[in-house]
């Protein structure tokens, strides 16, 4: 009887260890699979965009070659949007330790390239990921400001530029409360707006000008 008991215990321990081993293997496979999926999404999303933009500089925006790459990008994006939505809906925002900065960039790029319905759906998830340190604030800023500009509202953090035909130049899309923009940016870990715009766009932020532009924007509405 004692021997039977010992054998039963050993069998149960072996089964338990096997289960834990399988769970670990499945976890690794799942993580590696997720990274592979995101790598494919990045490649199919970005390669036609990069090629399209290069061809545009050579042949112009209406070139057949440019339109061909645009069509490839649009077709790929539909598939990529479904994949990203599936990941976020099923798993929530993936851990940065698993997907890395590149994985976050991939997810956010697809969201950024989607319409406002998708952006608004995943904004709460992005905000929470930033709070938990799983997502860099700069990715959230792009989406927050893109949502605002698509809704013809003042942007919050100053991440969106626009080309103005009347002046034949780029300028910041008007900002909510420009005086306190650096305070808002600092609260989520971003540097001053003047430094960001100079580094990213070689654009000079003049506070008085932007205050006036925001006032005129609100009056026009």
- Left if phi > 0, otherwise alpha if psi is -120 to 50, otherwise beta: which for 100? left
In angstroms, what CA-CA distances link 66 with 19, 59, 88, 141, 195? 53, 8, 32, 30, 34
Contact 205, 193 (CB under 8 A): yes
What's the alpha-carbon Rg for the chain, to the nearest Å? 24
**Domain edges within the chain:** 39-135, 154-221
pTM confidence score: 0.73
Per-residue pLDDT tens listing for the chain (221 residues): 555 444 444 445 444 444 444 433 343 347 889 999 999 999 999 999 999 989 988 998 889 999 999 999 999 999 999 999 999 999 999 999 999 999 999 999 999 999 999 999 999 999 999 999 999 999 998 999 999 999 999 999 998 999 888 888 899 999 999 999 999 999 888 999 999 999 988 999 999 999 999 999 999 98
Q: H or E stretch including 122? A: helix 116-131
What local confidence, expressed as pLDDT, does residue 25 receive? Answer: 32
Residues in CB range of 217: below 8 A, 6 or more apart: 154, 174
What local confidence, expressed as pLDDT, does residue 93 receive? Answer: 97
What local confidence, expressed as pLDDT, does residue 3 receive? Answer: 53
């Amino acid at each position: 009887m004692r021997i039977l008991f010992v054998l039963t215990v050993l069998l149960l321990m072996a089964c338990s260890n096997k289960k834990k081993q399988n769970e670990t293997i499945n976890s690794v496979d799942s993580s590696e699979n997720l990274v592979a999926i995101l790598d494919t999404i990045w490649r199919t999303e970005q390669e036609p965009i990069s090629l399209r933009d290069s061809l545009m500089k050579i042949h112009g925006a209406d070139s057949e070659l440019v339109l061909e790459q645009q069509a490839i990008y649009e077709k790929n994006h539909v598939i990529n949007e479904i994949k990203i939505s599936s990941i976020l809906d099923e798993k929530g925002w993936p851990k940065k330790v698993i997907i890395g900065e590149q994985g976050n960039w991939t997810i956010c790029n697809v969201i950024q390239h989607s319409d406002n319905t998708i952006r608004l759906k995943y904004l709460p998830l992005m905000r929470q990921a930033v709070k938990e340190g799983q997502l860099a604030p700069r990715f959230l800023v792009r989406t927050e400001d893109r949502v605002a500009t698509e809704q013809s509202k003042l942007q919050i953090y100053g991440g969106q530029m626009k080309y103005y035909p009347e002046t034949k130049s780029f300028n910041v899309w008007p900002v909510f409360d420009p005086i306190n923009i650096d305070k808002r940016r600092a609260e989520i870990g971003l540097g001053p707006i003047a430094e960001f715009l100079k580094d990213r766009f070689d654009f000079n932020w003049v506070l008085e000008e932007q205050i006036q532009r925001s006032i005129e924007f609100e009056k026009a509405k």
